[in-house]
Chains A and B, each alone.
Chain A
Amino acid sequence: MSLLDIADLTLSFKGLSGLTEVLHGISLSIAPGEKVALVGESGSGKSVTARIVLGLLQEQKTARIGGTVRFAGQDLAALSPRDREGLRGTEISMIFQDPTSYLNPVFTIGRQFAEVLRRRDPGLARAACEARAIEMLAETAIPDPARVLGSYPFQLSGGMNQRVMIAMALANHPRLLIADEPGTALDVTVQAQTLKLMRQLVDLHETAVLFISHNLGVVREFADRVYVIYRGRIVEDGPTAAVFGDPRHAYTQALMAAVPRITGDGLPDVPEVSEAFLAPKVHHRLRSGRAT
């Protein structure tokens, strides 16, 4: 059974000029411990999908959501807002783009860490929180965890904050980790280090990951399976090797062609919109890797 099962999810926002459709029926599933990437350009609907899985958009009055999202067999729409809130931070957690701005500037790392730990275990004593935090930070290869716990986010480097955020996100042993373009705000080398670290940790804890990104290189290294999303539709999906080795959909091909090469052939020419981008979805089967 899959951990996360999204079936025919639609989303539209009610505005002054009527409904704006954002998602046109996307389907996606993640097995326990599986690393799945959702790739697409900005505005394609990646981040709103994450927010629906977290149950944050359901609370917004202007959002109209259709289809079903099942987490561990439970239909999120059938849960009460309180139960949905209960999943966040315990069963599902999230890592963000810019680690520094996602930590509250007025509290020390230690205090924020304790808050995260008390999400699952409200009565946890301060010393226990600290011990657990140090253990988690040590796992992320932070050299001096005790010092980091006493620091404020602005006293640490971006890479350090990213590690802190990874440690916090995994502290409660969630079953699903949503990574929304993690480390995009960091420089390339630091990004590579933290991603490698994140992969080791999710493998260790057998956490499933929904990896949201527009960075194809990172996705190729990180994910087991890939979904390519374009304008609120999944256009191609399959095992990472199959999709990268043999992109069939016109949009996927354009996306791959758009990656600037380090060899310096100049910026690639990508059409803004093409009829072919709206072609039906291409599905690569798991074993054969052949497109259907």
Chain B
Amino acid sequence: MKRAIRILSRNPLSALGLGLVVLIVLAALLAPWIAPYPDHNGAVVDFLNNNKPPSARNWMGTDLVGRDIFSRILYAYQTSLVLAVVVLAIATPIGTVVGLIAGYLGGWTETILMRVVDVFLSIPPLVLALAMMGVLKPTLTNAMLAVTAMWWPWYARLVYSIARSEREEGYVLAAEVIGAGTTHIAFREILPNCLPAIITKMTLDMGFVIIIASSLSFLGLGVQPPTPDLGSMVAEGANYLPDSWWLTVFPGLAILIAVFGFNLLGDGLRDVLGVDR
């Protein structure tokens, strides 16, 4: 752990990533206390102050119905992070188990599982999510479902490729020789060797899931108003560019910072977790 922190801090970019991620998580957690207008996360209307540029009163300006954009961004981070965490918490185990079983067992199991994965991967992810959201009602839960459905195959692919090569390693044969069963070898011997890659990918994916979820809500298929969401905030403001630029630029920047932070952190983690191998 100490060594991990040392390596992370030696690389200024990953330290920056870690800093941004910590900042975002804190902002989301503390939103009710640090937001200047905590009640602006809902259907509040303040027409006296609508569509105001950034000022000392509203640091990032106000939106079309007069809500403070800075406050709404803090709350929007909550939505984005919860969505990303839930999606990865479901997609990663599914993909890992599928990949692990296919990679270690081989044969027919591998053929069937990986062809299913290929079918999912052959459909462009956003199109798949759009189709699902078109059929289902656009709610936060369904957005999570749609993004999860398009995400797990990537983990299956990743874990499959590692398990395939680990299967040939000596320690797997050694475990077979001492009489270890299939489940034990797959989950207790091979899986721990896949974990560094899985954790790194999860960190990198946090950013990408946030982008995809924002894209869905930008198209009106994700989180529905009045719940604040970065994607729908960008969409709302897009009609008023370039005059009311603060409507789009600040939520856009918020997305950028989140994705940037998780990506840098993921790169740093790859170095930390990669050296042991």
Q: In whole angstroms, how far apart are the Cα atoms of A119 and B178 in the complex?
A: 8
Given contacts A102-B173, A104-B171, contact A116 B178 (CB under 8 A): yes
Q: Is A93 an interface residue (CB 8 A)?
A: yes
CB-CB under 8 A from A154, the residues of chain B are 276
0/1 per residue, B177-194, Cβ < 8 Å to A?
111110000000100110
- Cα distance, A54 to B175, chains bound together (Å): 12
- Cβ-defined partner of B277 (8 Å) among A96, A101, A105: A105
CA distance A90 to B180 in the complex (A): 11
Contacts of A102 in B (CB 8 A): 170-171, 173-174
- Tell me if B118 counts as interface (CB < 8 A to partner A): no
Within 8 A of B (CB), among A133-189: 154
CB distance from A10 to the nearest CB of B (A): 23
Q: Does A94 contact B (CB under 8 A)?
A: yes
The A76-109 residues at the B interface (CB cut-off 8 A) are: 85-90, 93-94, 96, 98, 101-107
> Does A56 reach chain B (CB closer than 8 Å)?
yes
Contact with B along A177-216 (1 / 0, CB 8 A): 0000000000000000000000000000000000000000
Supposing A101-B169, A101-B171 touch, asked if A106 and B192 sit within 8 A by C-beta, the answer is yes
Task: List A contacts of B46 (CB < 8 A).
Answer: none
A-B contact count (CB 8 A): 53
Most chain B C-beta atoms within 10 Å of own C-beta, residue among A56, A85, A101, A104: A104
Given contacts A106-B192, A106-B193, A107-B192, contact A101 B177 (CB under 8 A): no
A207 to chain B, nearest CB (A): 15
Known contacts A101-B171, A103-B171, A105-B277; is A94 also within 8 Å of B192 by CB?
no
Task: For A55, give the chain B residue with the smallest CB separation.
Answer: B179
Contact A89 B173 (CB under 8 A): no
Complex interface: chain A residues within 8 A of B195 (CB): 106
Closest to A152 in B: B276
The chain B residue with its CB closest to the CB of A50 is: B177
Contacts of A86 in B (CB 8 A): 179
A101-B170, A101-B171, A102-B170 given; A94·B179 CB < 8 A: no
Per-position binary interface string of chain A over residues 204-239, scored 1 when its CB falls under 8 Å from any chain B CB and 0 otherwise: 000000000000000000000000000000000000
Q: B39 within 8 Å of A by Cβ? A: no
* Most chain A CB inside 10 Å of its own CB: which residue of B170, B181, B189, B192: B170
- B193 — which chain A residues lie within 8 A by C-beta? 104-106
Interface flags for B148-163 (1: CB within 8 Å of A; 0: not) read 0000000000000000
A189 CB to nearest B CB, Å: 23
Cα separation A154 to B176 with both chains bound (whole Å): 21
Size band of the B side of the interface? 10 to 19
Distance, CA A181 to CA B277, complexed state (A):
25
Q: How many angstroms between the C-alpha atoms of A125 and B171 in the bound complex?
A: 24
- Name B177's contact: one of A54, A98, A107, A115 (CB within 8 Å): A54
Expressed in whole angstroms, the Cα–Cα distance for A66 and B28 within the complex equals 68
Q: Is the CB of A96 within 8 A of B276?
A: no
CB contacts (< 8 Å) of A96 on chain B: these are: 170, 173-174
Q: In the assembled complex, how far is the CB of residue B162 from the closest CB belonging to chain A, in whole angstroms?
A: 12
Q: How far is the CB of A225 from chain B (nearest CB, A)?
A: 24
- Whether the Cβ atoms of B189 and A104 lie closer than 8 Å is yes
Q: How far is the CB of A54 from chain B (nearest CB, A)?
A: 6
CA distance A91 to B78 in the complex (A): 58
- Could you say which residues of chain B place their CB within 8 Å of the CB of A93? 177-178
Within 8 A of B (CB), among A232-289: none
> What's the minimum C-beta distance from A80 to chain B, rounded to whole angstroms?
14
Q: Which residues of A contact B174 (CB under 8 A)?
A: 94, 96, 102-103
- Complex Cα gap A89–B176 (Å): 9
Which chain A residues lie closer than 8 Å to B176 at the CB level? Answer: 56, 88
**Chain B contacts of A88 at CB under 8 A?**
176-179
Query: What is the chain A residue whose CB lies nearest that of B175?
Result: A104
Separation of A205 and B177 alpha carbons in the complex (Å): 20
- CB–CB A94/B177 < 8 A: yes
CA distance A87 to B277 in the complex (A): 32
List of B residues within 8 angstroms of A105 by Cβ: 171, 193, 276-277
Give bound CA distance, A98 to B173, whole Å: 12
Contacts of B276 in A (CB 8 A): 105, 154
Per the bound structure, the CA–CA distance linking A104 and B191 in Å amounts to 11
* Docked pose: A104 CA to B180 CA in angstroms: 13
| Selected A-B contacts with CB under 8 Å, 5 pairs | A89-B179, A93-B178, A104-B175, A106-B192, A116-B178
A-B pairs, top 3 by smallest CB distance, nearest first, are A89-B178, A102-B170, A88-B179
Known: A89-B179, A105-B171, A105-B277. 7 other contacts (CB 8 A): A54-B177, A56-B177, A89-B180, A94-B174, A101-B170, A104-B193, A154-B276
